[in-house]
């Protein structure tokens, strides 16, 4: 079988147009590669398509690499978070519970790009008769992708509008909750806007309204939050709660009992000595954090976290566990409070 015949067998058709590579004959009778091998394609102009070319010894791998080339265009949008510690976390917000287990090193990767790349199609393949390597061309239609992204933005804007209405409430807890969730929608819009900038580079995109952001900041700053931490060595953990609330734009003050302020944040801390093994001392620190509105007892957020600390000095493992516990609270309490 000739190289040209093999190339013909490798052609695929996933669009309502021919997907076979248009190779011709160069001087001397050698087969000329299709134009897209060099990065430009008359049939698939870059003004209308995002292009990706993959090369491999077999077609499946070449196609995967072509898709990966398009994915790389959106790579700045991929968000990764690595937690290099062991933890068990249970969070709940607005009546919904979620349990997350993390062990050793956990990479939590979130990317809206996966949804965008559902529109990627392999439109041509070609095998080099000399090297026998397979080349694949992947395309992403800019216009269709932009339409999907605009639909997603419209849905997010509608959601933001509902939270904006809550910000106008006379109830300070409702107004602050609306502010938190409005900000959450703005964060979720950013990766979608970033994808749209890739697909339609020249399109002007409006940013968040500074006046609305100022209203959100005011609603959060008005909230009177009282924090009560009980249990072992609570000062370190209290600092973590303070960082969590500050990151949300809330001011907090220490208190005792219930009934004071708009919101009561209660924290119960426990520390357990796990003993020594192979010259290392281990400690487990745990905290149960609950935020609730004093008026009506409305549940706002709950976080339960367990952290471990280790050290070669007996007195160091507990402080390390508590510092990790405080850091985890500072990270996870805002997430739980802002959750739907």
Token readout for 204 is: 């002007």
- Res. 29: pLDDT tops 90: no
Alpha-carbon gap, residue 231 to 324, rounded angstroms:
16
Mean of per-residue pLDDT scores for the chain: 80
Spatial distance between the Cα atoms of 181 and 187, rounded to a whole number of angstroms? 10
Q: pLDDT tens digit string along 36-54?
A: 988 778 899 999 999 999 9
Give the three-state DSSP class for 51.
Answer: strand
Residue 172 phi/psi, 5-degree rounding, is -65, -30
Each residue of 195-217: pLDDT tens digit? 899 899 888 877 778 999 999 99
Mean pLDDT of 294-305: 88
Lowest mean pLDDT among 25-39, 59-73, 99-113, 290-304: 99-113
What is the predicted pLDDT for the residue at 235?
84
According to the model, what pLDDT value does residue 259 have?
A: 59
Phi, psi of 132 (to 5 degrees): 70, 10
Pairing of strands 251-254, 224-231: parallel
Exposure string for 222-241, b = 16+ CB within 10 A, e = fewer: ebbbbbbbeebbbebbbbbb
Q: Residue 93 above 60 pLDDT?
A: no
pLDDT greater than 60 at residue 312: yes
The two most distant CA atoms of the chain are separated, in Å, by: 91
User: What average pLDDT does the segment 108-114 reach?
Assistant: 45
- Using the predicted structure, report yes or no on whether residue 123 has a pLDDT greater than 80: yes
Cβ–Cβ under 8 Å, residues 118 and 75 = no
pLDDT, mean of residues 67-87 = 57
Determine the pLDDT at residue 110: 39
The span from the CA of 299 to the CA of 294, in Å, is 9
Convert the pLDDT of each residue in 212-262 to its tens digit: 999 999 999 999 999 999 887 678 899 999 999 999 999 888 876 555 789
Mean pLDDT value across residues 13-35: 54
Give the relative orientation of helices 210-222 and 142-167 as an angle to the nearest 10 degrees. Answer: 40
pLDDT for the residue 274: 94
User: Model confidence at 104, in pLDDT bands (50, 70, 90)?
Assistant: very low
Task: Return the closest-CA partner of residue 61 out of 122, 113, 109.
Answer: 122
CA distances from 332 to 225, 302, 329, 339 (A): 17, 10, 5, 11
CB 321 within 8 A of CB 234: no
Question: How far does the chain reach from its first CA to its final CA, in angstroms?
Answer: 61
Instruction: Specify the pLDDT at position 27.
Output: 45
Nearest CA to 130 out of 7, 221, 248 is that of 7
Residue corresponding to tokens 């959750």 = 339
Contact 15, 118 (CB under 8 A): no
The more confidently predicted of residues 96 and 305 is 305
Exposure string (b/e) for 111-144, b if CB count within 10 Å is 16 or more? bbbeebbebbbbbbbbbbbeeeebbbbbbbbbee
């Amino acid at each position: 079988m000739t190289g040209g015949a093999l190339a013909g067998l490798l052609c695929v058709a996933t669009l309502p147009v021919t997907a076979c590579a248009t190779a011709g004959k160069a001087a001397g009778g050698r087969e000329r590669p299709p134009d897209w091998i060099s990065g430009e394609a008359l049939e698939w102009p870059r003004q209308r398509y995002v292009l990706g070319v993959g090369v491999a010894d077999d077609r499946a791998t070449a196609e995967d690499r072509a898709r990966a080339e398009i994915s790389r265009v959106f790579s700045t949008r991929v968000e990764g978070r690595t937690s290099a510690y062991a933890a068990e976390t249970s969070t709940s917000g607005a009546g919904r519970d979620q349990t997350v287990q993390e062990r050793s090193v956990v990479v939590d990767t979130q990317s809206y790009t996966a949804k965008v790349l559902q529109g990627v199609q392999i439109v041509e393949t070609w095998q080099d008769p000399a090297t026998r390597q397979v080349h694949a061309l992947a395309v992403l239609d800019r216009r269709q992708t932009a339409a999907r992204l605009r639909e997603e933005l419209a849905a997010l804007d509608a959601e933001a509008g509902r939270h904006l209405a809550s910000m106008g409430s006379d109830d300070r807890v409702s107004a602050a909750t609306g502010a938190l969730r409005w900000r959450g929608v703005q964060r979720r819009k950013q990766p979608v806007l970033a994808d749209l900038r890739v697909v339609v580079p020249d399109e002007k995109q409006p940013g968040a309204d500074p006046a609305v952001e100022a209203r959100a900041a005011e609603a959060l700053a008005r909230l009177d939050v009282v924090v009560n931490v009980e249990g072992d060595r609570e000062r370190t953990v209290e600092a973590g709660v303070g960082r969590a609330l500050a990151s949300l734009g809330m001011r907090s003050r220490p208190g005792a009992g219930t009934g004071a302020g708009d919101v009561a944040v209660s924290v119960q801390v426990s520390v357990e000595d796990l003993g020594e093994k192979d010259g290392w001392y281990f400690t487990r620190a745990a905290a149960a954090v609950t935020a609730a509105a004093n008026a009506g007892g409305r549940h706002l957020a709950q976080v339960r976290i367990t952290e471990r600390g280790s050290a070669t000095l007996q007195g160091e493992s507990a402080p390390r566990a508590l510092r990790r516990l405080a850091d985890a609270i500072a990270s996870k309490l805002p997430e739980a409070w802002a959750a739907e």
